Amino acid sequence: MNIAYSTELICFLILSAVIISGSLAVVLLQNIVYSAFLLGGVFMSVAGLYLLLNASFVAAAQILVYVGAVNVLILFAIMLVNKKEKLKPIEGLKNRKLISGGVCGGLLILLLRVSITTQWNIPGPTSIGEEATERIGEHLFTDYLLPFELASILLLMAMIGAIVLARRDVSIPTDYLNDMKNKKSLSDKKIPLLTENSLK
Amino acid sequence: MLSNPIGPVPLQAYLIVAAFLFCTGVWGLINSRNAVRVLMSIELMLNAVNINLMSFSSYIDGSIIRGQVFSIFVITVAAAEAAVGLAILLSLYRNRVTIDMESFNLLKW
């Protein structure tokens, strides 16, 4: 048994176990903060799978974008809206979960059957190593130039849209503005460092 | 079949992991009542699709790697989707003071 192949197999098994158990925990755990952190673990393991598939650039992009940006964004959203609220009970929730579980299990069985029974006529994994990054750059600036530019426009639109949607509409009353003009600045106001209650 | 100890990891193994991830994401998307968890399930599904793209790119298209370029585009769109989705979620929370998916029935007929 070749040691490289067995190492690859062990890494693959560990990473896929982390991915499957982590994704189940993301969906099933009650505490959403735990599931957000476990989602970061799932993203990291997916990046590890990309490394096994000889794609170092995409693995780095996955870690930067997903773990560094998307996961942090989700954590911030959780902290902004984190309120313990009693969810209203809904009749037939158990039935709904069971039915959707059946549908998803059927979809899973279908996908597994297709992927196992198909005779994949493939040349096998080929690696071009570090040349992959150069190749991606060539693709992005030659035959995928239009999607690349569209992606930049999409990112700009998403950024502006997110700002517009999440901005709080603050309407400052005019007398408050006049007050602010009369006061010079906050540092001119006499703010006691210690209140009288704290001195006692 | 799956763990052939002589050769490299077969393509089917990657496809099976991606199928598990995708079905978990679909289940969570349907059944989550917390709106943030719905967005997390969408991210799981996008990751499953990315695993498929990357494995086919490595096993079939190993020298041209179109799949890697495609998955970079998917990552870009996923980042934009997460930003806009969370912004929508914040403004919904500001209007409704809840993140229960069952109470977001504003656009129902």
A113 and chain B in contact, CB less than 8 A: no
Q: Does 1.10.287.3510 match the CATH number of domain B11-101?
A: yes
B4 has a pLDDT exceeding 80: no
CB contact (8 A) between residue B86 and residue A73: yes
More confident residue, B107 or A74: A74
What number is the average pLDDT over the span B79-106?
Answer: 87
Please report, for chain A, the start and end positions of each structural domain, with discontinuous segments joined by +.
Answer: 7-82, 129-166
Residue of chain B with shortest Cα separation from A78: B36
Contact B21, A16 (CB under 8 A): no
Contact B75 A166 (CB under 8 A): no
d(C-alpha B95, C-alpha A104), whole Å: 33
Cβ-based neighbour number of residue A112 at 10 Å: 16
Give the ipTM: 0.90
Inter-chain CB pairs, A–B, below 8 Å: 244
**Do B68 and A132 touch, CB atoms closer than 8 A?**
yes
Distance CA A173, CA A73 (A): 32
Q: Least CB-CB distance to B9: which of A12, A151, A159?
A: A12
CA A97 from centroid of its chain's CA atoms: 25
Is the pLDDT reported for residue B77 higher than 60? yes
The answer to whether the Cβ–Cβ distance between B5 and A136 falls below 8 Å is no
**Where is average pLDDT lowest: A110-114, A121-125, B18-22?**
A121-125
Q: From B68, which residue of chain A is nearest by alpha-carbon distance?
A: A58
Contacts of B3 in chain A (CB under 8 A): 9
Total residue count of chain A as it appears in this document: 200
pLDDT for position B44 = 96
Q: Which of A63-72, A122-131, B41-50, B81-90 has the lowest mean pLDDT?
A: A122-131
Tell me, yes or no, if A188 comes closer than 8 A to chain B by beta carbon. no
DSSP-assigned states of every residue in B13-68: HHHHHHHHHHHHHHHHHHH--BHHHHHHHHHHHHHHHHHHHHHHHHHTSTTT-HHH
Q: What value does the mean pLDDT take over residues A9-33?
A: 94
Q: How far apart are CA A86 and CA B33, in angstroms?
A: 11
Higher local confidence (pLDDT), B98 or B56: B56
Average pLDDT over residues A185-199: 54
Between B70 and A181, the more confident residue is B70
Sequence-distant (≥ 6) Cβ neighbours of residue B24 within 8 angstroms: A20, A23, A24, A26, A27, A104, B41, B44
Distance CA A148, CA A157 (A): 14
**Rounded Cα gap, residues A171 and A12, in angstroms:** 55
Q: How far apart are CA A140 and CA A14, in angstroms?
A: 33
CB atoms within 10 A of CB A103: 14
pLDDT the model gives residue A179: 67
Mutate to test the interface with A, among B24, B51, B56, B59 (most CBs of A within 10 A): B24
Residues 52-71 of A with CB under 8 A from B: 52-55, 57-58, 61-62, 65-66, 69-70
Which chain A residue is nearest to residue B31, measuring alpha carbons?
A: A97
Closest CA relative to residue B27, chosen from B37, B17, B18: B37
CA A18 to chain centre: 16
Mean pLDDT over residues A117-125, rounded? 82
Question: How confident is the model over B37-53, as a mean pLDDT?
Answer: 95
Q: Say which range, A76-80, A177-181, B44-48, has the weakest mean pLDDT.
A: A177-181
Query: Cβ–Cβ of A77/B90 closer than 8 Å?
Result: yes
Whether A104 sits inside 8 A of B23 (CB atoms) is yes
Say what the pTM is.
0.84
Mean pLDDT, range A119-148, rounded to an integer: 87
In angstroms, the CA B76 to CA B13 distance is 26
What is the pLDDT, as a whole number, of residue B109? 61
Residue B97, pLDDT > 90, answer no
Q: List CB contacts (< 8 A) between B104 and chain A.
A: none
Provide the CATH topology of domain A7-82.
Four Helix Bundle (Hemerythrin (Met), subunit A) (1.20.120)
Name the 3-class secondary structure at A168.
Answer: coil
Q: A58, A50 in Cβ contact below 8 A? A: yes
Average pLDDT, chain A: 85
CB A57 to CB B79 under 8 A? Answer: no
pLDDT of amino acid A40: 95
> Least CB-CB distance to A32: which of B13, B34, B98?
B34
Q: Decide if pLDDT at B84 tops 70.
A: yes
What pLDDT is attached to residue B1?
A: 46
Identify the band that residue B38 occupies on the pLDDT scale cut at 50, 70 and 90: very high
